[in-house]
Structure 1
Amino acid sequence: MTDSLLQHHQYGKRAIRLVHVTRDGDRHELTDLDVDVTLTGEFEETYLTGANAGVLPTDSQKNTVYAFARQHGVQRIEDFALLLARHFVRAHETVKRARIGISRHHWDRITPQHSFVRSEGELRTVTVTHDAGKTWVVGGLTGLRLLNSTGSEFKDFPRDEYTTLPEAGDRILATSVSAGWRYEGTRGDWDAWHGKIRAALVTAFTETYSRSLQQTLYAMGEKALAACPAIAEIRLALPNQHHIAVDLSPFGLDNPNSVFVATEQPYGLIEGALMREGAVGADAAWW
């Protein structure tokens, strides 16, 4: 045996599937969620000795999510996540920090009453982290697919003996946006704020003449901060979803930038974070 110290520990329940129907007469509202619970606290003994006296079962965590959905509803995922995070810290002495992550699947209404069709791809997200000192609310989205068929270039980059990429003066720029933004407070018009930030990200992407995806990322973050004063910072991850012009010369055909092959892997991944000037930085745990 060697001397060792337990440096970090946490546990929880992942991928709790929750579908909630709000019935208001003939018109129903559908909420479809994936919920993650992560708890940090005084659980050293179960790691070191196997003693479980302070360990809330993950099955109990799952059941809490379902019970709270029935008791409180889940229409606004930010409020639902706040409710759960505060509960786990308040109700269980050994839990010192709770993090609730929620992803919401979008369903479009196809009749005025109770029929829906699911929109694939984009998810609305929230992560709430709560402890005795602070509560962080981080809104976000993933899978927002954007494409400009022109208005993008990539030139004047360094070249070495391994460089084969040609310069591009007019290229397709495509990405699938993952974004997270930290709110200043724990109360607000979450739906309206989410809509403003999403619209700002889309507008910045479409209106920016892009000389690099890095430049586009900064423009998107800057516009989101301007659109919603309620957020202190935003983090963005933009994969560069390459579209490569196909060489049609073997067939006696030209290709005036009109025929492409879309590739999934490998891909460039551009990441960045912007903070509002004067804002207070968050604990690393918020992300």
Structure 2
Amino acid sequence: MPTLGQNQYGKAETRVVRVTRDGATHHLEDLKVSVALSGDMDEVHYSGSNAAVLTTDATKNTVFAFAKEHGIGSPERFGILLARHFTESQPTLTRARIRLESYAWERVPTPGEGDHSFLRDGRGIRTAQVTHDTEDGWEVLSGLTGVTVLNTTHSEFHGFLRDRYTTLAETRDRVLATDVTALWRHRWAGPAEDRDWNASHAAARRHLLDAFARTYSYSLQQTLYGMGARVIDHRPEIDEIRLSLPNKHHFLADLTPFGMENDTEDGAVYFAADRPYGLIEATVLRDGATARIPIDATNL
């Protein structure tokens, strides 16, 4: 008889928006929450018995109820509250994984009208993943995705391998652009830990962007390592960071058919290619730490 392997179930992509009113000033929190639960689920697969199953509808309702009763505060905090609840309230559930996306909004100034108007922030999406296993303990990943950055210079690419299919020309001055997707793993000191998740995330994001801007790049791989290393060097609560950086190619447009030169000195015109694109991915670890973020985690 075939044997059941790893399995999980839950409710995906529950969208919860919380509005807190502080007089005329309103505060907006906007999350997408996906819950995956595992445990003693053999019989529901073998015989269809639902005796051990907490309904996915209940997990959705829990997200809304917890947002009202406990507030959100940060994706990490909210994920910890949910994961602890599911694994501690149901004996058949031994593992809960909560994935969260947080959408930032900025205020639209409305003098004299109250602070209640918002514009969706276009600086990327904040992500988090919280996992609690009753045997293996806690894991908290924070991250971001869709953060587009570009350097107009201080980037070269030359000295690479060549074979019969190589056509790419070497360059000593190029545009370097990418969409940053990153996940970093926090050192965990127990479920009672009181960490300022928002400050930690803001600092890690700042170091990633600062390293991108300050690195004189001879390859996107070098830039990636510089970004990850800067986070590890400056944030002692982070042991591992995984980065996925697509190379958003910008090629000088060929204007010779029109009798025009197009160089990088002044007024250069580029064709921003959509696809295919190079994809550079790697993990940067604190010395002595063990890699635990899966190779494809940033693409989930």
TM-score range, shorter chain: over 0.9
Offset from partner CA, 1:60-101 (integer Å, 9 cap, x none): 111110011110111222111100000010111111110111
Whichever residue aligns with residue 125 of structure 1, its letter is T
Please give the alpha-carbon distance, in whole angstroms, between the structure 1 residues aligned to 2:228 and 2:104: 24
What is the aligned-residue RMSD (CA, Å)? 1.7
Whichever residue aligns with residue 25 of structure 2, its letter is R
Within-5 A mapping of 1:1-287: 3-111=1-109, 113-120=115-122, 122-133=124-135, 134-185=137-188, 186-257=193-264, 258-279=268-289, 281-282=291-292
Please give the alpha-carbon distance, in whole angstroms, between the structure 2 residues aligned to 1:47 and 1:6: 8
User: May I ask how many residue pairs the two structures share in their alignment?
Assistant: 285
Deviates more, 1:129-138 or 1:112-121: 112-121
Offset from partner CA, 1:216-258 (integer Å, 9 cap, x none): 0000000011121111111111111111111110111111131
- 3-state secondary structure, aligned to 2:12: strand
Identical residues among aligned pairs (%): 49
Please give the alpha-carbon distance, in whole angstroms, between the structure 2 residues aligned to 1:115 and 1:144: 24
Please give the alpha-carbon distance, in whole angstroms, between the structure 2 residues aligned to 1:118 and 1:82: 26
Question: Aligned-pair distance for 1:132?
Answer: 1.3
Q: 1:261 to 1:283 in 2, by over 3 A?
A: closer
Question: Aligned-pair distance for 1:196?
Answer: 1.1
Deviates more, 1:276-285 or 1:144-153: 276-285
Whichever residue aligns with residue 76 of structure 1, its letter is S
Please give the alpha-carbon distance, in whole angstroms, between the structure 2 residues aligned to 1:156 and 1:5: 52
- 3-state secondary structure, aligned to 1:202: helix
Asked if the contact 2:103–2:125 (Cα under 8 Å) also holds between the matched residues in 1, the reply is yes
Asked if the contact 2:185–2:293 (Cα under 8 Å) also holds between the matched residues in 1, the reply is no
Whichever residue aligns with residue 173 of structure 2, its letter is D
Question: Aligned-pair distance for 1:278?
Answer: 2.8
- 3-state secondary structure, aligned to 1:55: coil
- 3-state secondary structure, aligned to 1:13: coil
Q: 1:161 to 1:62 in 2, by over 3 A?
A: same
Q: 1:31 to 1:229 in 2, by over 3 A?
A: same
Q: 1:275 to 1:9 in 2, by over 3 A?
A: same
Whichever residue aligns with residue 120 of structure 2, its letter is R
Please give the alpha-carbon distance, in whole angstroms, between the structure 2 residues aligned to 1:262 and 1:91: 52
Any unmatched runs of 5+ in structure 2?
A: none
Please give the alpha-carbon distance, in whole angstroms, between the structure 2 residues aligned to 1:52 and 1:15: 23
Question: Aligned-pair distance for 1:104?
Answer: 0.5
User: Greater strand share, 1 or 2?
Assistant: 1
- 3-state secondary structure, aligned to 2:153: coil
